[in-house]
Amino acid sequence: MATEEAVLGEILRPIKGKLRLAVAAQTVSAIAGVVPFIAIAELGRVLLSDHADRSDRAWTITAVAVGALLVRLAFMLAAGALSHFADNELQSHIRRSLVARLARVPLGWFSERNSGTVKKAVQDDVDAMHHMIAHSILEMTSATVVPVVSLAYLFWVDWRMTLVTIAPLVVGLGLYSVTMAQMAKHLPDYDRAMGEINGSAVEFVQGVAVVKTFGQTHRAHQKFRDAADDFAAFFLSWVRSTVRSKAVAEMVLSPIAVLLAVVTGGAFLVTGGGLAGVDLLPFALLGVGLTAPVLALFYASYELRFAKAAAARVGDVLHAEELPVAREPLSPSGNHVSYQGVRFSYDGEKEALSGIDLDLAPGTVTALVGPSGSGKSTLATLLPRFGDVTGGSITIGGVDIRDIALDDLYRRVAFVFQDVRLTQTSVADNIRMARPDASREDVIAAARAACVHDVIEALPRGYDSVVGEDARFSGGQAQRVSIARAVLADTPIIVLDEAAAYADPQSEAEVQEALSGLTRGKIVLMIAHRLSTVVEADRIVVLENGELIESGTHAELVAREGRYARMWHAHERSTVWQPRRSDPDPAAARTGGTRR
């Protein structure tokens, strides 16, 4: 596995040239930034000397200082502009690459991740890298160049005074490292204590209704309070153990401490070491500026660590495995679907499907039933290639689905899932998703077929209302909008994940009616969660532990007295105790989705 460092290097590759130029410009600007300080020190030395051409020299130095300031300004602007251009270019490059890659990964990749992970990579992690590229790299350049140039000059003036000047720096950094090491030692304890406090806070908030109902507020509070007290006690002892050395380190690294060292060390050298008093000026001026860049380096290294972690996450998405596409796609003749010895495993070890043979003939409805985890969703989602079979094959019209071009495949297979996603555009565009060029009449016809036209008409701007703004739908209505989308797509094959439960009988009846509009005359593969909806299916397929154990019509399977018959009897017994729903024609409502 590539290290975070390597991933960051690879991500930065397209802008390497620009970044190098920016760093070069920043180096010039940092050197030019030290020059005026050197100039002031030199000015002092010249003016206090008894050279005959003091005045000329003073003017030359002043001119150099002013020139250096202008150079600094110009190069600083250039460096900033270059790094921001580079950052802009990289952000757009990464986002485009991410989106391009996301379009090619198998759909199953998304179901294993929540949208938060993808959003974090595309937005937050790219942003996290912005600070490093546009700012931290330049800050680190200055923080390195300024002390190096300053120290070189100071050594040239007087090496003994230079040692005196950097003494606080060495002591301060030593103390700082010790403090940091001490803090790092207790970091796992800190994380643990923080985890406990978070855990009890979440527990408290999630359970607040139950806690209040049962009058346990005091006890629940107490648990949270104990965790908070423990954390406070730990934090206090942790901070106490490092606070002294950290305070001393920061004090030693302060400009005042450096000035004190310069003045004290200087006094000794001036009185007994043959150093001219005016030679203290460069140390007083440049020495106090040495500590700030060193601390800046510390902070910039933090930024770098964040950026590396962000780059690693972006790298994960950029390297997500693509869905293989056929180089020379074949076009199926007809739409007969056939699963032959299909095996599938999510993790390469445990099989979610082990050798399924199944035919879906045109104009038939096949319902998949079986206990939760038996492989129904896996079997159904292999058809729109959420993942590829790990054994056997699935064909449409005699052609392996892996050999069909993806757009051809999606013109043949539509899927309607429980978990409906509407995008934040107009309702019409949401319905048009599969056919962006569909006319308004076609959209309305699809909405009518999906029994949602009246709902949309009642919205403030009708079909132009925007989802999430002035178009708000109940669960059942949103499902009908997604059904309208599939109606308009008009694919010959439909994979349907029937909802496990509806809010009320009315909305169930409406969704079932919409589904019957969608599935008429099509090849339908339905993941059935409730036996009441499968009775009229042409074929019921019973899965258990990834194996097909029975298949046939409802009547055949009930007569067989096997697994399905037991499930059906259990279902009937459970419904005897429930008052029947008040649909005018319950049978029609229940089986609408499977009628042709």
Q: How far is the CB of 344 from ligand ADP (least distance, A)?
A: 8
- Which stretch, 141-149, 367-375, 389-397, 532-540, contacts ligand ADP (CB under 6 A)? 367-375
- Which stretch, 135-143, 293-301, 365-373, 584-592, contacts ligand ADP (CB under 6 A)? 365-373
The DSSP H or E segment spanning 430 is: helix 427-431
Cβ nearer to ligand ADP, comparing 332 with 593: 593
Cβ nearer to ligand ADP, comparing 340 with 345: 345
179, 242 in Cβ contact below 8 A? yes
Buried/exposed 506-519: b ≥16 CB within 10 Å, e otherwise = ebbbbbbbbbbbbb
Angle between helix 440-449 and helix 475-489 axes, rounded to 10 deg: 120
Subset of 69-108 contacting ligand ADP (CB under 6 A): none
Q: Which two tokens stand for residue 331?
A: 């076009």
Q: Which two tokens stand for residue 476?
A: 């059942």
- Which stretch, 118-126, 312-320, 375-383, 485-493, contacts ligand ADP (CB under 6 A)? 375-383
- Which stretch, 26-34, 208-216, 335-343, 368-376, contacts ligand ADP (CB under 6 A)? 368-376
Q: Which two tokens stand for residue 304?
A: 């770098």
Q: Which two tokens stand for residue 552?
A: 């046939």
Cβ nearer to ligand ADP, comparing 65 with 365: 365
Cβ nearer to ligand ADP, comparing 165 with 377: 377
| Residue with tokens 């660590």, as numbered in its chain | 305
488, 518 in Cβ contact below 8 A? no
Q: Count the site residues for ligand ADP by CB under 6 A.
A: 12
Under the criterion CB under 6 A, does residue 378 sit at the interface with ligand ADP?
Answer: yes
Cβ nearer to ligand ADP, comparing 75 with 344: 344
Cβ nearer to ligand ADP, comparing 87 with 351: 351
Strand partners, 342: 356
Cβ nearer to ligand ADP, comparing 347 with 407: 347
Under the criterion CB under 6 A, does residue 456 sit at the interface with ligand ADP?
Answer: no
Starting from the edge strand earliest in sequence, which strands make up the sheet with 351-360, in order?
Answer: 351-360, 337-345, 391-396, 399-400
Under the criterion CB under 6 A, does residue 375 sit at the interface with ligand ADP?
Answer: yes
Cα atoms in the 13 Å half-sphere on the side-chain side of 281: 16
Q: How far apart are CA 454 and CA 439, in angstroms?
A: 18
Q: From the list 120, 308, 376, 432, which residue makes contact with ligand ADP (rule: CB under 6 A)? A: 376
Subset of 343-362 contacting ligand ADP (CB under 6 A): 346-347, 352
Those residues whose C-beta lies under 8 Å from the C-beta of residue 405, and which sit 6 or more positions away, are: 325, 326, 329
Angle between helix 291-318 and helix 159-185 axes, rounded to 10 deg: 40
- Which stretch, 34-42, 304-312, 359-367, 370-378, contacts ligand ADP (CB under 6 A)? 370-378
Those residues whose C-beta lies under 8 Å from the C-beta of residue 127, and which sit 6 or more positions away, are: none
Cβ nearer to ligand ADP, comparing 36 with 108: 108
Q: From the list 195, 341, 373, 468, which residue makes contact with ligand ADP (rule: CB under 6 A)? A: 373
401, 322 in Cβ contact below 8 A? no
- Which stretch, 146-154, 369-377, 428-436, 563-571, contacts ligand ADP (CB under 6 A)? 369-377
465, 471 in Cβ contact below 8 A? yes
Cβ nearer to ligand ADP, comparing 218 with 350: 350
Q: Which two tokens stand for residue 194?
A: 């923080």
Under the criterion CB under 6 A, does residue 112 sit at the interface with ligand ADP?
Answer: yes
Q: From the list 142, 374, 482, 594, which residue makes contact with ligand ADP (rule: CB under 6 A)? A: 374
Cβ nearer to ligand ADP, comparing 139 with 351: 351
**Residue 128: how many CB atoms within 10 A of its CB?**
19
Q: From the list 115, 372, 578, 582, which residue makes contact with ligand ADP (rule: CB under 6 A)? A: 372
Which H, E and C letters describe 481-496, residue by residue? Answer: HHHHHHHHHCCCEEEE
Q: How far is the CB of 498 from ligand ADP (least distance, A)?
A: 11
Name residue 9's amino acid.
G
Phi and psi based region of residue 521 (left: phi greater than 0; alpha: psi -120 to 50; beta: remaining): left
Q: How far is the CB of 379 from ligand ADP (least distance, A)?
A: 7
Q: How far is the CB of 386 from ligand ADP (least distance, A)?
A: 9
450, 483 in Cβ contact below 8 A? yes
- Which stretch, 243-251, 371-379, 484-492, 580-588, contacts ligand ADP (CB under 6 A)? 371-379
Q: Which of 564, 113, 108, 544 is nearest to 352 (CA)?
A: 544
Q: How far is the CB of 108 from ligand ADP (least distance, A)?
A: 7
Q: From the list 332, 370, 476, 517, which residue makes contact with ligand ADP (rule: CB under 6 A)? A: 370
Where along the sequence are the contacts to ligand ADP (CB under 6 A)?
Answer: 112, 346-347, 352, 370, 372-378
